Every structure is written in C-alpha cells, then in structure tokens.
A = this chain, B = another copy of it.
C-alpha cells in the first residue's frame, strides 16, 4: 500500500517532471509568424500543461538508476511524450473515440478543427524522431539510433497503433481475456515499456541486464490499464478530466467487464507487487520506480 509520504514525494516528482516537460515543449514549439501558426498553437494546446506525465517520469526514474544526465533524460522523455500526445489527439477524433474533453480541456479538434488536429498529431509524431535524432540529445549516434528503433517499433503497427487497431475491432467482437491483455499490451503497454527501456538504453545497460526492468514495465503497463478500466467505471469525470464509461456503452470488453471490479483490483495489486519484486536487485535506488508502480493503482485520474 502507498503511504501518504511516498505519495507526496511521488507527487513532487510528477510535478517536477511535468514542469520540465512543459518547459521543453514551450521551447520546441514557438509559434511562427506565418500560416502555420494555428498548427503550432494546436500542438501547444495538446502538449503543454496537462497530463500525468507518467511516461516522462518513467524515463527519469529509470535513467536516474544509472546516473544519466538530466538534460538528456528531459529530451528523450519529451520525445516519448510527443508520441503519447499525438496518439491522444488522433484517438479523440470523431472517427475514433469522438471525445470532446481531454485533461479537462476541449480536445484539439474541438478547440481548433479536425484537419488541424490530424496535422498536429502528425507533426508531434515526426517531432519525436527529430528530437531523438538530434545530437544534442545524446553524443553517441548508436544510442540515438537504438532509442529511435525502440520508439518507432513501440509506436507502430506492432505496438501502440496496432493496439488501437485491435481496439477498433473490439466493438463488434467479444474479446476474451487473453485478447484484451494482448490488445492492452500493445495499446498502452508498448509505450510504457519503451519509457523504461529508454532509461536503460541511455544508462548503457546491456540488453541482457534489462530483464528485471522489462518485467517491471510489463507488469506496470498491465496494472496501469486495469486501473484505467476501474477508473472508467468508478471514477469522477471532473477529476479524470475526460468522458468516462464509454467502453461499456460501446459494448467493448475490458478487464473489469471480464473479471468484475473486485477480481480486477486484486489482479492489479498482484501485478504491482510483481512489478516491484522485479526491481529487487536495484535496492533502494529503485524506490521511485516502486512508488510509481504503487501510485498507478491509487491514482484518481
């Protein structure tokens, strides 16, 4: 169980990383004085001042295990958040989830228009790779290219976009627990795993030393999604900042519809314990990663 103390030190870390990501986006996205101004304003609307910044925090928390330079972590965390934000913009479009509210603000296609939302998403997508490819992000091109390979795979049809495509099919079909697990491993798990992996890549941890971190990320991703499904059923729309209870209305199977609330919560707790156990070898250095895992279950948004 998360104590008040770990939650408050974690909240401080989330706030600090959140402010850093806002600062990075503000620097990256100056509004140009030409006809592209609405595009940049739409990107800023979506990217700045909102969200839990869970993925950036995972990059920071993992990178800190290996004493990675914070400037470097900030740029990589921002690149991964670019992908996350672009996916939210496209996911909210009328042809997809058709959401009007995100992070307590109007979605991009509501605040601007659909065409601008499509292009703002596409622009953030490209920006992620532009950021990672830049030598200011890391001096060693091998590190940059490994980060890019992992992010591209995690975002593409074998990762996040593939999970979203499965989600489109979910409305018409009765997915079983194995299929929902696979769907969510792609849709949200891949980018969460990529955030942890990025910290390990920057820390020059050889691939054979990453098993524990990968186990942590896998279990965390799944627990995060179960918590999300629970929030969808139990949460308060104002606190969460988006429309809830849409999956049930759409007839989509979720962890909660398949397991029931009690067993789903139990499963998430078990996964969190398992995630924390994966970090055993790192000792107290990994306390922040453990706190993140516990927070994922306790959060109210």
Residues of B near A12 (CB, < 8 A) are none
| Residue A111, interface by CB 8 Å | no
Cross-chain contact of A36 among B125, B145, B166 (Cβ < 8 A): B166
Cross-chain contact of A118 among B39, B40, B118, B153 (Cβ < 8 A): B118
Cross-chain contact of A165 among B119, B141, B144, B148 (Cβ < 8 A): B119
Residues of B near A148 (CB, < 8 A) are 129, 132-133, 145, 148
Known: A145-B133, A148-B145, A149-B133. A115 touches B156 (CB 8 A): no
Known: A116-B165, A145-B145, A152-B130. A157 touches B93 (CB 8 A): no
CA distance A175 to B129 in the complex (A): 31
Interface mask (A132-174 → B, CB under 8 Å = 1, otherwise 0): 1110000001101110110111011101011011101110010
A147 → chain B closest CB, angstroms: 9
- Decide: A149 and B125 in contact? CB cutoff 8 A: no
Residues of B near A121 (CB, < 8 A) are 122
| Residue A294, interface by CB 8 Å | no
- Please tell me how many copies of the chain the complex holds: 2
Q: Of residues A128, A165, A175, A183, which shows the largest number of chain B Cβ atoms within 10 Å of its Cβ? A: A165
A294 → chain B closest CB, angstroms: 32
Cross-chain contact of A35 among B38, B116, B118, B170 (Cβ < 8 A): B170
- Decide: A36 and B152 in contact? CB cutoff 8 A: no
Show 13 residue pairs from A and B whose CB-CB distance is below 8 angstroms, ordered by the A residue: A34-B182, A35-B183, A36-B157, A38-B165, A122-B155, A123-B161, A126-B155, A126-B161, A129-B152, A130-B152, A130-B153, A133-B145, A144-B145
10 nearest A-B residue pairs (beta carbon): A126-B156, A95-B114, A39-B165, A133-B149, A130-B152, A35-B169, A129-B152, A123-B157, A35-B166, A126-B155
Residues of A within 8 A of B (CB): 34-36, 38-40, 43, 86-87, 90, 93, 95-96, 109, 113-119, 121-123, 125-130, 132-134, 141-142, 144-146, 148-149, 151-153, 155-157, 159, 161-162, 164-166, 168-170, 173, 175, 179, 182-183
